[in-house]
Structure 1
Amino acid sequence: MSSLCSQTTPAVLVLEDGRVFRGNAFGAIGQTVGEAVFCTAMTGYQETLTDPSFHGQVVVMTAPHVGNTGINDEDGESQRIWVSGFVVRDPALRPSNWRSVRTLQDDLREQGVVGISDIDTRALTRHLRERGAMRVGIFSGPAVGEVPELCKIVRSAPPMSGAALAQEVSTEQAYVVPAQGQKRFTVAALDLGIKANTPRMLSERGIEVHVLPCDTSFQQISELAPDGVFFSNGPGDPASADAEVDLLRQVLAARIPFFGICFGNQLLGRALGFGTFKLKYGHRGINQPVLERATGRVEITAQNHGFAVEVPGVQEGDFSPRQTPFGRVEVSHICLNDQVVEGLRCLDVPAFSVQYHPEAAAGPHDSAYLFDRFVELMAESGSSPGRSEG
């Protein structure tokens, strides 16, 4: 991933099952491998690229035109691009937005992200939808070779199943996002791949957010005397996150209010004794319909996950509370597309989680109420003297 590319430089995309797409290089010239996934968002490509949850993945944008609004310095969800590769059909010839300071192509080149354009992304998406997410390679410039050799490179890449990636995207040093206005609560937020808008939305509600590395111990969390604990989104296979699951069980046992999203939802499921499984092609985009069972309200949500919590019987319509080592638990939300579990609510300990991204960067704001629900949970649970006063 060294030299820069011209849009007329030939490139080839090779899937592990042998399917080949030929187009032009978009971004840096070279080669990259990862898991091929598709994102159905019509906008928000800057937030998608900088979402740590996409670490290790080659993202196929289903929207035909990408790059129209350029890149700005405000909308990134982290300090860098995390995707392993980027696939678009028609890149914008030039950006047209008053906030744009550079082109998408500029950022991809500068950060060494290999991409491909001018391919039939509709055909590629249909292929992934039918065959499932799989390993893929993008090759351009000198990296382009004979397809059988390129297939060998792709098939030698590690699969996403079993991948432990949170450590690779988590912050190395703890930091604090101060509460806006009067401080009401202190929250310890475990960074498994957190997006910048999440602590921002917590701070808007009077919460002082301590963002912590993913290898933080329960003792270190206890020393903060938090009113609540938050587990973020992040990449990788939840079945590999044994240390984080053990930490969460200690949080539940201590009855500290807990809220988890995305990867955090999967870890709550594991902590409660449920399994997780890999979805055929995952949920990625900002238009995923989710039903909140208690109210019958349908939310349009932002999602990015390839794994889900497995609660036996839900696919058959059994939503009765399940007994777990931490008391009764119910499935609070389900995906209307495929009945996948989208949320868990504990009935006997103060904890809940959702599989999607309520910070909605990018995406609709239907789910912002979940941050208010976390505030209510902390208020109802009370706190020891000094916790909220910091």
Structure 2
Amino acid sequence: MSSRAPAILVLEDGRVFRGEAYGSVGETVGEAVFNTGMTAYQETLTDPSYFGQVVCQTAPQIGNTGWNDEDDESRRIWVAGYVVRDPSRIASNWRSKRGLEDELAAQGIVGICGVDTRALTRHLRESGAMRAGVSSRTTDADALLQRVLAAPPMAGANLVEAVTTPEPYTYVAEGAGPAKYTVAALDLGIKRNTPRRLAARGITTTVHPAGAGVDDLLSGEPDAVFLSNGPGDPATADAQVEVTRELLRRGVPVFGICFGNQILGRALGLDTYKLKYGHRGINQPVLDRRTGKVEVTSHNHGFALAPTEPGEYFETEFGRVQVSHVCLNDDVVEGLTCLDVPAYSVQYHPEAAGGPHDADYLFDRLTALIDDHEGNRLDA
């Protein structure tokens, strides 16, 4: 292995971790967070929800399966920086086309390896997610700390415009037959596996930019509207919240995930707040109150919904709403189901590339919602 340049990671509270350059040599600043997944690093790196974040992988060795051309969840890597303990010296997988570090370097992603990621994760759990800088250009921790402190925090950050599609497009699955349903998706940072999972149910998805209005979304007379995942602070998404309110007023079926769950929640009158260190990984236990089942789920969120009333149900201008899913680790609201209008959402990722797939049924729930809505409309 070639020699590596020395590198440092500096947190905004002044703690310093030293290691070696990994990926592109340079300097970057973002919000330091940790991901507990033992696999799926390619899907993590290409998830737009990680835009602006320096991601620490808690799994001790990263890069074992290299990088392929099939598992990207978007058009590029979005993380601001990458932190690993032990980069694998070889990549062994039948689909691998190149090494992880080669891809990081090609896309200009600054990383650091040789870091005690367990100590970093414990620190973030105790002190909370915070701004951090990674540099392989300098080892001057004090100077890097000043640049970290000058960077904007994640709270108050409006990032969806940076990751959304510039123009609408329609996803057509390879070999798919005639579509039974159509869905308009509001792209707040959508992952590619979402329209794939919809296509498996006979749904054709047209993806719209984050700034699309109600008339744009409904121009193709879709059967439902999907609110995607995405990065940043949901408190900044006033335009998308108002669009969602209008969809609810018109009785359009709505399904949201992650950032989309927070958009729906705000449309229903709830506030959002920043979690101490967030949920990021593929092993979060969530209770579905409608069925009593516990799902192991994929998460990536640093904000959550705050119910205005204690308990499982609350009243809104759109009728009664159930807090349908809760995280069993910390009781965070993980899903909403409207009882008087056709809308529901979850905070986690049912598309779950690369797994687990306990929550895949939520896409079936969308087709059932559409069928029920159409039946009720025809009966009216």
TM-score, normalization by structure 2: 0.97
Instruction: Provide the residue aligned with 2:356 in structure 1.
Output: 364
Question: CA-to-partner distance for each residue in 1:142-197, whole Å, 9 max, x for gaps?
Answer: x2142221110001111000000001000001110136323111100000000000
Choose which of 113, 118, 124 in structure 1 pairs with 2:120: 124
Q: 2:156 aligns to what?
A: 162
Q: 1:10 maps to which residue?
A: 6
Amino acid at match of 1:164: N
State the Cα distance separating 1:220 from its structure 2 match: 1.3
2-structure distance, mates of 1:366, 1:46: 21
Contact 2:7 2:139 in 1 (8 A): no
Query: Residue 14 and residue 25 in structure 1: after superposition, are their counterparts in 2 closer, same or farther (change >3 A)?
Result: same
1:206-254 superposed Cα distances (whole Å, 9 cap, x missing partner)? 1111011011111112221111000000000000000000000011111
Shift of 1:8: 1.9
CA distance in structure 2 between the partners assigned to 1:36 and 1:147 by the alignment = 16
Distance 2:67 2:167 in 1: 28
Counterpart amino acid of residue 173 in structure 1 = E
* Cα distance in 2 between the residues matched to 1:181 and 1:384: 27
Picking from 336, 339, 346, the partner of 1:344 is 336
> Match of 2:262, SS?
helix
Shift of 1:16: 0.3
Match of 1:353 among 345, 359, 362: 345
CA–CA separation in structure 2 for the residues paired with 1:335 and 1:324: 23
Question: Where does residue 326 of structure 2 map in the other structure?
Answer: 334
Question: Which range is displaced more, 304-313 or 101-110?
Answer: 304-313
Residue type of the partner of 2:222?
A: P
Q: Report the 3-state secondary structure (helix = DSSP H, G, I; strand = E; otherwise coil) of the residue aligned with 1:108.
A: helix
Distance 1:7 1:255 in 2: 61
Residue-by-residue CA offset, 1:20-77 (whole Å, 9 max, x unaligned): 0000000000100000000000000000000000000000000000000000000000
TM-score (norm 1): 0.94
TM-aligned CA deviation for residue 312 of structure 1: 3.8
State the Cα distance separating 1:313 from its structure 2 match: 4.9
Structure 1 unaligned runs (5+)? 386-390
- Note if contact 1:292-1:334 (Cα within 8 Å) is conserved in structure 2: yes
Determine if contact 1:227/1:383 at 8 Å carries over to the other structure: no
Distance 1:217 1:312 in 2: 28
Deviation per residue, 1:53-106 (Å, 9 max, x gap): 000000000000000000000000011100000000000001011111100000
Moved over 6 A (4+): none
Query: Gapped runs of 5+ residues in structure 2?
Result: none
Between the aligned residues of both structures, percent identity stands at 61
Q: Which amino acid aligns with 2:201?
A: R
Partner SS, residue 210 of structure 2: coil
1:42 pairs with 22, 38, 53, which one?
A: 38
User: What does 1:1-390 align with in structure 2 at a 5 Å threshold?
Assistant: 8-140=4-136, 143-178=137-172, 180-314=176-310, 318-319=311-312, 321-382=313-374
Structure-1 separation of matches of 2:204 and 2:4: 49
The whole-number CA distance in structure 1 between the counterparts of 2:222 and 2:153 is 37
- Contact persistence 1:6–1:26 (CA under 8 A): no
Q: Secondary structure at the match of 2:42?
A: helix
Instruction: State the shift of 1:362 in Å.
Output: 1.8
Q: Is the 8 A contact 1:326 1:348 kept in 2?
A: yes
Q: Residues 197 and 363 of structure 2 are in contact (CA less than 8 Å); yes or no, is this contact kept in structure 1?
A: yes
Distance 2:25 2:140 in 1: 17
**CA distance, structure 2, for counterparts of residue 126 and residue 98 of structure 1:** 35
1:157 partner amino acid: A
1:388 is matched with none
CA shift, 1:6, in A, is: 5.6
Measure, in 2, the Cα distance between the counterparts of 1:332 and 1:6.
52
Deviations 1:306-349 (A, max 9, x none): 000101454xxx21x21101110010000000000000000000
